[in-house]
Each structure stands twice: as structure tokens, then as C-alpha cells.
Amino acid sequence: MKVAIVGAGAIGGALGGRLAWRGHEVSLVARGEHLAAIRRDGLRLVDHVGDASGTYRTAASDEPADFGAQDLVIIALKAQAIGEMLPRLRALLKDDTVVVPAINGLPWWYFHREPGPHEGRRLRSLDPHGTMFADLDCRHVLGCVVHVAAEVRAPGEVHHTGGRRLVLGEPDNSRGERLRRVCALLDDAGLEAQPSERIRLDVWIKLLGNMSFNPVAALTGYLMNQICADEDVLDVIRPMMREGMAVSAHYGYPMPMTPDQRIDLARQLGAAKISMLQDIERRRPLELAPIVGAVIELAELAGLPVPTIRMVHALAQARARALGIG
């Protein structure tokens, strides 16, 4: 298949390298020194969880239009870059192109084809200009929740450090041919693609961990295993999760687990350096809006109190501003 990875950083680079390993025609959208290194030397994937290590010569550019129409487009950008990029993706699309946003937080398409009073709603924390639904026709979108850990450790060098699971689902919760096809493609690349008939529930299960562990990691400098071993810090994580679970239940997705069971899932990542800590160390803007701000916005719409989430969000914003990345 012809596959474009839009945002060939940590997650995008790991996915792109694995797909190139299996012989697909992969094109990478990247920028800066990372792009220059890929163009010069190829993409180096260091695979800590499988057999896909290698250096892969792929097309690479900072302009998606250079690649033409694709069978599959994987968006692996930071949330703050997605809105500006969506209009530039039109050159990659044909009628049956599948677009998989492999992104953190609540996705901008969340209320697309979601039955009920919120169908089609746009959240200002995700789509502040109200243009994203128009900039990319959501009929192309296949929802995705990423349970993979990866890092860019040098320009052109991506380490897949943990996890293989990707949960994919149609926004209307159907089970169609394109879902089967994309899952098979990713399975063949050494990943574990799980089809879902309730992709928004899977979004919430991941989000409850992200909205608590990520800002706490940014504030403390802790790796995931250090957070999970510190009971005083877990006493902050638990109320954040309880508040988030109340929000998810209000919107029709009660959690099938307790906060401690969700913490046990996080323990499986081991000593992972999760994304906001990576961003703090590299002085990159934090993805607070889709990961924490969107939960606060949904709570406001529902009239639900989320005091612990608000407190940690305010502290993480202040930390970012103090470092000049807020």
C-alpha cells in the first residue's frame, strides 16, 4: 500500500519504519533536522519490542503535496499542529483513502456520527477556529487509540520502546472492510491491531491515563514506573481519574474499571518516558488542550466539578509558561 505518515516523530516514525520493513511504499512528512537526517541517511528504527530494527530509505518532505494520492494516511502530529495541517492533506486523498489520526487526547472528530444531542459538536479546546470538520471530510477518518511508546533519540533515529497495541474503530461503530484491511496491515507490521465497535470508550480508557499521568510526569520529571511507585503521587492521580470517569459516564461511556485498575494498566508501560515529559525536556509545547483541557470543557458543558483536574492543569500550564513553551 501507499502510506503517508504525517508527523514522522516518535509514534509516526515507529509506525512508518515498521510499514517500510514490510515493504510498503512509505512517505514521511517531517521537518527540521529530523527531516534532513532522514533525507540524508534514511529513517533508523531501533526496535526494542520486535525484529524491525533497520534503516529505511523512504520519500520524505515537509510538504504532503509532494507525495500524491495515498491508500492510507496516518496523522501522528502533536495536537497543536493538526488544525494547520488538515487543509494540506487534501493532496493525499482519493475517494477511498483512509485517514487514521494516531494522536493523543480527545480527537477533533469525536462527535462526528455520534448519535444523540451532541452529534457534530465542535469543542473550542480542540478546534478553536471551528474549521477542522470542513478542512478534512470525516468520512475518511478511522478512529485510533495508540498504546505504543516511542522516542526520537537523535535526528533520523526513532526507538520503539514499548507496547504494540493499536485500537481502531469506525466513528459510527460499524465493522467494515476498511477496518479489517487496516488492522491486517498493522498486524503484518508486527503490531497488535484491535478492532473496536465502541472506539469512543477506548478513547476514554486511554484518555483517563493521559490526562492524569502526563501532566504529573511533566511536573515531577517521573518516568511511568516512578509515578506508579509513589503513593503520595497516586493520591493525586486517583481523584483525577474519578473526576474524569464522571465526565465519561455523563457522555455515555461509563468506565468498566476502577482508578486502581486503570493505574495497573499504566504499570505495564514500565519505565516509559511519557510524552509530556519528553516535551518538557525538549522544550516543546505541551498537548494540554486535547488531553486535559477537553475534559475540563466537557465537564463545564455537563455542569460537573473537576477540581483536581483543574488544579493539575493550572500547574502544568504554569510550568510550561515558566519554561517559555506555554
- Give one DSSP letter per residue of 23-88, joined into a string: T-EEEEE--HHHHHHHHHH-EEEEESSSS--EEE--EEES-GGGS---SEEEE---HHHHHHHGGG
Beta-carbon-side half-sphere exposure of residue 132 (alpha carbons within 13 Å):
25
- Separation of alpha carbons 8 and 14, rounded Å: 8
Contacts 24+ apart (CB under 8 A), 34-39: 34/8, 34/9, 34/152, 34/155, 34/156, 35/60, 35/61, 35/62, 36/155, 37/154, 37/155, 37/156, 37/157, 38/8, 38/156
- Separation of alpha carbons 91 and 94, rounded Å: 8
Residue of 2, 94, 206, 273 with catalytic role? 206
The answer to whether 189 touches 84, Cβ cutoff 8 Å, is: no
Cell triple for 59: 520519500
Catalytic site includes residue 273: no
Centroid of chain to Cα 146: 6
DSSP state of 255: -
List Cβ neighbours of 114 (8 Å cut-off, separation of 6 or more).
Answer: 171, 200
List Cβ neighbours of 268 (8 Å cut-off, separation of 6 or more).
Answer: none
User: Rg for the chain (alpha carbons), in Å?
Assistant: 19
Place of cell 507490521: 189
- Separation of alpha carbons 307 and 240, rounded Å: 8
Cite the active site residues.
Answer: 206
